[in-house]
């Protein structure tokens, strides 16, 4: 048996799990957004919102190490992101699962844990136990043995969440988990995400189109539009003044008596910034 | 006849195993394309007096690498693959017409001719089977996960290009050897139908793979057995048997569902 030395992790000045300084994202010939500054600590629930194609998924790709920044720095767990970090759970935007797919949900969640290991072990039960634990956490055990192809949108989203949770991540990235869900299911899923994330101290970033259902649960919001990124508490970021100052054009943030928010003036922007 | 059973058994196993992944990854059309591109290779090397299997392997491997290079997300993939395989078939037709050797050679490539298989080909098939099974055993879990959830697998840093390419090459080998039993045109009957039947019956991959192999074995053995007594092609019997089994499973499942609905309505 070989000795493994404990890995020394340097204690940084900031205690934030995710931190970016003057981060600029894009491709060789096109900048998607520039000079973003943000820091998220352990256990924070953060919404990432903005118009279509503003670059919300780009933020996730940077955190996953699937894309490199073209300016500034981004750090997660105190180091630049690298592909395949098991401490990050990812729930991508979904394509529809073929109704012919007969594989049971439990199998998908199991494989999320064991899929990175070569070979196959017919006698191992760890991945099965972990999968069941994850499915219980998302309250999806009753559909564990049903084929993926027959599950409803809401049930599938829980399965995908379990898939991301099975490796006990510290950070969870959810890309539009609420689209294709009716309002009732939306609320249910949000409550579930909130519960799971709070009880495990997970830092969660959630891309959504409509911020209103999320408002009661959020610690911070990241607003990406027209090539700029605004970050902070919802009450600070989602005001006419701060968004107007950030984007240099007149932005109105309207609130109704229930606290619902509507942002006017930053619709889809197809030109470069 | 003994060689036919030996080779048939090996081929049923590799076709049953690879077929599962072909169906899972919705690559049935690609598998068919391999057999037809391989056909051009087989017909071509026949002109040179070389064992057609070599041509099949070369053709389908090259085709496989080209298709893997297209990437999984290429739009209009079906169209691109179809264009290439139509050309390959055309080449094959040309080569066949140029061939002045045994007339049955073309027939056996197209429809299979397992009864006449040589012991050296059986040995070759055994080697191929060992390579395929060993490789699948090694890449089983990553391949399965990457096939089920491409996006998350990529985000987890899994070697997607390697897995995709390995898969294509394994399919190319399985197709090339399966042609011996079932021929280029009927390749679906071993590479797709048994697996399609199996995945309807089992919700766990390991179970489904075993059923897929069982169906392929049953059909191959029965086909060989019947062909011993009846003068019709083995490949026809195999095709008929797997098709019947597939229909039976669908029928039984539909009746089962009907019963459930009926009792729910009461």
User: Torsions phi, psi of B42, nearest 5?
Assistant: -65, -45
Contact A115 B158 (CB under 8 A): yes
Report the distance separating Cα B64 and Cα B166, nearest Å. 9
CB pairs under 8 A between A and B: 84
Give the largest Cα separation in chain A, rounded. Answer: 66
* Mean pLDDT confidence for B198-227: 95
**What's the confidence (pLDDT) of residue B73?**
59
Task: Judge whether B142 is closer than 8 Å to chain A, CB to CB.
Answer: yes
A187 contacts: CB under 8 Å, gap ≥ 6: A213
Angle among Cα B135, B141, B146 to the nearest 5 degrees reads 105
Using an 8 Å CB-CB cutoff, list chain A residues near B139: 118
* pLDDT one-digit tens code per residue, A137-166: 999 999 999 999 899 888 999 999 999 999
What is the value of ipTM here, to two decimals?
Answer: 0.86
Q: Which of A91-105, A132-146, B225-239 has the lowest mean pLDDT?
A: A91-105
Measure the CA–CA gap between A211 and B16, rounded to whole angstroms. 49
The domains of chain B are located at: 2-265
Inspect the interface and report whether the beta carbons of A120 and B146 lie closer than 8 Å: no
**Cα A83 to Cα A235: distance, rounded to the nearest angstrom:** 34
In 3D, which of B107, B105, B100, B125 has the Cα closest to residue B14?
Answer: B125
Mean pLDDT of A164-172: 94
Min mean pLDDT across A50-54, A67-71, B56-60, B68-72 is at: B68-72
Contacts of B144 in chain A (CB under 8 A): 111, 115
Beta strand A171-175 with A88-91: parallel, antiparallel or unpaired? Answer: parallel
C-alpha A88/C-alpha A159 separation (Å) is 17
User: CB-based burial of residue B160 (10 Å sphere; 0-12 exposed, 13-18 middle, 19+ buried)?
Assistant: middle
CATH topology of domain B2-265: ABC transporter involved in vitamin B12 uptake, BtuC (1.10.3470)
pTM score: 0.87
Interface with B, mutate which of A83, A86, A111, A149 (most B CBs under 10 A): A111
Measured CA to CA, the distance from residue A148 to residue A137 in angstroms comes to: 18
Q: How far is CA A253 from the centre of its chain?
A: 25
Query: pLDDT of A226-265, one tens digit each?
Result: 888 999 998 888 888 888 887 778 888 888 888 788 888 7
Q: Which of A102, A210, A223, A202 is nearest to B197 (CA)?
A: A102
**Closest chain B residue to A85, measured at CA:** B156
Of A261, A248, A268, A223, which Cα lies nearest the Cα of A46?
A223
Residues of A in contact with B135 (CB under 8 A): none
Radius of gyration of chain A (CA): 20
């Amino acid at each position: 048996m070989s000795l493994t030395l404990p890995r020394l992790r340097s204690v940084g000045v900031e205690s934030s799990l995710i931190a970016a300084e003057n981060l600029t994202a894009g491709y060789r010939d096109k900048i998607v957004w520039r000079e973003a500054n943000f820091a998220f600590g352990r256990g924070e629930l953060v919404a990432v919102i903005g118009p279509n194609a503003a670059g919300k998924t780009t933020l996730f790709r940077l955190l996953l190490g699937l894309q490199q920044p073209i300016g500034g720095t981004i750090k997660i767990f105190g180091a630049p992101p690298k592909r395949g970090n098991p401490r990050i759970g990812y729930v991508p935007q979904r394509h529809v699962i073929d109704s012919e797919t007969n594989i049971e949900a439990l199998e998908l969640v199991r494989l999320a844990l064991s899929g990175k290991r070569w070979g196959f072990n017919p006698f191992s039960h760890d991945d099965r136990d972990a999968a069941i634990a994850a499915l219980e956490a998302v309250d999806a055990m009753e559909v564990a043995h049903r084929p993926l192809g027959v599950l409803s949108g809401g049930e599938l989203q829980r399965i995908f969440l379990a898939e991301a949770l099975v490796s006990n991540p510290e950070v969870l990235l959810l890309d539009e988990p609420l689209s294709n869900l009716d309002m009732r299911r939306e609320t249910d899923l949000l409550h579930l995400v909130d519960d799971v994330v709070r009880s495990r101290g997970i830092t969660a970033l959630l891309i959504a189109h409509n911020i209103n259902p999320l408002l009661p649960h959020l610690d911070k919001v990241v607003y990406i539009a027209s090539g700029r990124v605004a970050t902070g508490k919802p009450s600070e970021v989602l005001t006419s003044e701060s968004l107007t100052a950030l984007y240099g054009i007149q932005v109105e943030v309207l609130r109704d008596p229930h606290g619902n928010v509507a942002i006017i003036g930053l619709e889809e922007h197809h030109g470069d910034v | 006849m003994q060689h036919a059973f030996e080779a048939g058994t090996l081929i049923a196993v590799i076709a049953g195993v690879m077929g599962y992944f072909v169906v899972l990854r919705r690559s049935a059309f690609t598998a068919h394309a391999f057999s037809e591109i391989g056909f051009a290779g087989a017909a071509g090397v026949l002109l040179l007096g070389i064992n057609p299997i070599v041509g099949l392997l070369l053709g389908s491997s090259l085709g496989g690498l080209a298709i893997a290079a297209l990437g999984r997300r290429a739009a209009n993939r079906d169209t691109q693959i179809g264009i290439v395989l139509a050309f390959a078939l055309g080449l094959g037709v040309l080569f066949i017409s140029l061939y002045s050797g045994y007339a049955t050679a073309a027939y056996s490539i197209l429809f299979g001719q397992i009864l006449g298989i040589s012991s050296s080909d059986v040995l070759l098939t055994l080697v191929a089977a060992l390579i395929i099974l060993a490789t699948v055993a090694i890449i089983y879990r990553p391949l399965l996960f990457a096939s089920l959830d491409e996006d998350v697998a990529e985000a987890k840093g899994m070697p997607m290009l390697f897995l995709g390419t390995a898969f294509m090459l394994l399919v190319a080998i399985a197709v090339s050897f399966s042609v011996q039993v079932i021929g280029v045109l009927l390749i679906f009957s071993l590479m797709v139908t048994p697996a399609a039947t199996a995945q309807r019956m089992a919700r766990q991959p390991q179970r489904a793979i075993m059923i897929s192999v069982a169906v392929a074995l049953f059909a191959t053995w029965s086909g060989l057995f019947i062909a011993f007594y009846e003068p019709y092609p083995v490949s026809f019997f195999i095709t008929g048997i797997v098709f019947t089994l597939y229909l039976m499973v669908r029928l039984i499942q539909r009746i089962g569902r009907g019963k459930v609905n009926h009792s729910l309505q009461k």
